[in-house]
Each structure stands twice: as structure tokens, then as C-alpha cells.
Amino acid sequence: MLSIKNLSAAINGKTILKGLNLEVKEGEVHAIMGPNGSGKSTLASVIAGRETFEVTEGEVTYLGSNLLDMPAETRAREGIFMGFQYPVEIPGVSIANFMRTAINEKRKYLGLEPMTGAEFLKLMEEKKKMVDIQSKLTNRSVNEGFSGGEKKKNEIFQMALLEPKLSILDETDSGLDIDALKVVANGINLLRRKDNATVVITHYQRLLDFIIPDFVHVLFDGRIIRSGGKELAIELEEKGYDWVKKEK
């Protein structure tokens, strides 16, 4: 589904990713771990198409197409979803309006009829239950005045509505207490299917107690320096990042 080969990327002339390789197939869950500043969030932003990052080398193929050629909104419509580490507030724009616009833009792109108000409301109710989101929340402006937990739940709620093929979740566990973490993890697990894939980016192993990854990768200094199964995460937790750094 996603194939990253020798990817290098820079921001303001500073190289962050330095020849990164990653293969993600349908039905898989990958966890990318690494210390602060290793390039985890940069990787997420590059896949989502943030223009502040400049791809200096390498290629990224998504469902057989060159991903790097597509603008951010096309990537989204092709099924890439990014769960933001710091979801931005958009005052005055309700989540309901925001999501309905997003869904209909995607449907238009796919040549489908726009969803009617009633259909959308029904869909929203259904997904709300899935991520245990309060009814009132969807009438509020996007992320405005949300607590850390609400913001992250809202990300998962949007993911549920947009039904992506590939989800990149950037530090979705940061700033969550254990209850919120369970809700978020549960949502992600419910959305897991044979035909989609998830990349979970995290600093701590904690989240991986709830979302069992098929693969764990350690990102350090812009490169994946070690890959393995879920046991790698446990080993990392015990020995710390210094361990892999030394091994390198």
C-alpha cells in the first residue's frame, strides 16, 4: 500500500529525514518509535503533504501512484488520514460542518453524489457511539476550547467518519490520561480492517499495550535503525533508547 524508499526531507534547509525506508501493506499496523527529534512527526507531515517540508531525495509510492506528486487534499481524498499531534483550533467552524464538507469533497472527487444532511447526521450518530464522543461536541467549533483528551478523541472521530485506507497517527497518545487512552485505542482497534493500514507514531510503549502492532520500527536521526515485532517495543521500554543507539 505504502512504499517509502530512501526518503530524505528538510525544513528550512535543515535535513531531518536521511534516507528512510518503510513498507506498509494492507491489514497491517506499524508502530514507529523513537526519541524526541528523531524525525517521527516529520515523517507524518511528509506523508500527509505538508509543504513546509521539502523532500530532497527518495520516493514514496501509495497504491501504485507517486504520492509526492499529489497535493495534500488529493492525498486525503485518496484515503490518507493524519491524526495530528496538536490539532489546530478553527474558531467558528463546527465539526459537523467541517466533516460534512470534507466527506462531500471526497465523494465529489470519487464521482459520488454528495451526502444529504439526513444521511450525514445518521452517519455521525453511528460514529459518535464508536468513539464515545459526546453529542454536544460536534456542534462546537473544531478543537476550540477542547481539552487534550477531547482533541484526540475528535481526531479519531474524524478518522471514523472519513474511513481512510491509511492512517498515520502522530503521537495520538500524548497528553492523554489512562481512560482517554483506552477510548482512543479502542476506537483505533474498531476501525482496523483487512483492507486498511495504520501507522502509529509514539514515544512511549504505553499505547502499544492497547494497540497491538504487527511491526515496530525504531526511528533515530532520520533513519529507521531497527525493525521487529511487538516484542521490540517491550525491549525498548526496558532498556531505553540508548540501547538501540549504542547497538547502531
Partner 1 sequence: MENNSDKILEEVTGSDYKYGFYTDIEMDQAPKGLSEDTVRFISAKKNEPEFMLEFRLKAFRHWQTLGEPDWAHVNYPPIDYQDIIYYSAPKKKATYESMDEVDPELLETFEKLGIPLEEQKMLAGVAVDAVMDSVSVGSTFKKTLAEQGIIFCSFSEALQKHPELIKKYMGTVVPYTDNFFAALNSAVFSDGSFAYIPKGVKCPLELSTYFRINAANTGQFERTLIVAEEGSYVSYMEGCTAPIRDENQLHAAIVEIIAHKDAEVKYSTVQNWWPGDKEGKGGVYNFVTKRGICEGDRSKISWTQVETGSAITWKYPSLVLKGDYSSGEFYSVAVTNNYQQADTGTKMIHLGRNTKSTIISKGISAGHSNNSYRGLVKATRRAENARNFSQCDSLLLGDQCGAHTFPYLDVGNRSTIVEHEATTSKISEDQLFYCLQRGIDMEGAIGLIVNGYAKEVLSKLPMEFAVEAQKLLSISLEGSVG
- Residues in contact with partner 1 by CB under 8 A are 48-50, 52, 71-73, 75-77, 81-82, 84, 87-93, 97-99, 101-102, 105-106, 109, 141-142, 158, 162
Cβ closest to partner 1, residue 170 vs residue 173: 170
Pairwise CA distance, residues 75 & 148, whole Å: 27
Extended strands (E) in the chain: 2-11, 14-24, 29-33, 53-62, 65-66, 80-83, 90-94, 141-142, 166-170, 197-202, 215-220, 223-228
Least distance in angstroms from the C-beta of 26 to partner 1: 21
Least distance in angstroms from the C-beta of 108 to partner 1: 10
Q: Cell 512511549 appears where? A: 204
Cβ closest to partner 1, residue 81 vs residue 220: 81
Cβ closest to partner 1, residue 58 vs residue 79: 79
Least distance in angstroms from the C-beta of 14 to partner 1: 18
Least distance in angstroms from the C-beta of 72 to partner 1: 4
- Name the residue among 51, 26, 68 with its Cα closest to residue 199: 26
- Is residue 43 classed as helix, strand or coil in its secondary structure? helix
Q: Are strands 53-62 and 2-11 parallel, antiparallel or unpaired?
A: antiparallel
Least distance in angstroms from the C-beta of 31 to partner 1: 21
Cβ closest to partner 1, residue 48 vs residue 236: 48
**Angle at alpha carbon of residue 67, lines to 65 and 71, rounded to 5°:** 125
